[in-house]
Amino acid sequence: MNTTRTILETLYEHKDEFISSEYLCSKTQISRIAIWQHIKKLQNLGYIIEAKRGVGYKLTQNPHDLLNIYEVEKLKQSTTVKNIFFFENTTSTMDEAKKILENNKNLAHKSLIVAS
């Protein structure tokens, strides 16, 4: 599993509490500096993560406001959805669906189109 994703999942699962660097290090088998680099990467992707020296990290944005790969993957595993298409910017998910179907009719069933 991707290290950045593992860190995001851990923060998401413990969304009401700070998670120590040591815990994240033991979970990912990487150094504290590497943890910090992954946290910065997540912050650059738009995740709001609070950092407190000597305490740890906490995902501070309301998780219900986040559309993250962790939740999308959980959805994919728990339903009959086989294909997920994500668009950061689009005027219409229906237009995107039409474009996708023009290229591959087999995607008409069990596909999910999401936009932020």
Is residue 68 domain-resident?
A: no
Q: Which pair of structure tokens corresponds to residue 60?
A: 């501070």
Residue 53's CATH number: 1.10.10.10
pLDDT in the model for residue 24: 98
Residues 51 and 93 in one domain: no
Tell which of 62, 89, 106 closes a domain: 62
Nearest CA among 82, 61, 76, 79 for reference residue 8: 61
| Residue 84: φ, ψ to 5° | -120, 125
pTM for the model: 0.59
Nearest CA among 62, 102, 88 for reference residue 113: 88
| Residue 10: φ, ψ to 5° | -65, -45
Provide the residue range defining the domain that includes 11: 3-62
Q: How many folded domains does the chain comprise?
A: 2
> Each residue of 49-97: pLDDT tens digit?
999 999 999 998 755 555 556 666 666 676 677 777 777 778 888 888 8
Q: Which pair of structure tokens corresponds to residue 51?
A: 């950092």
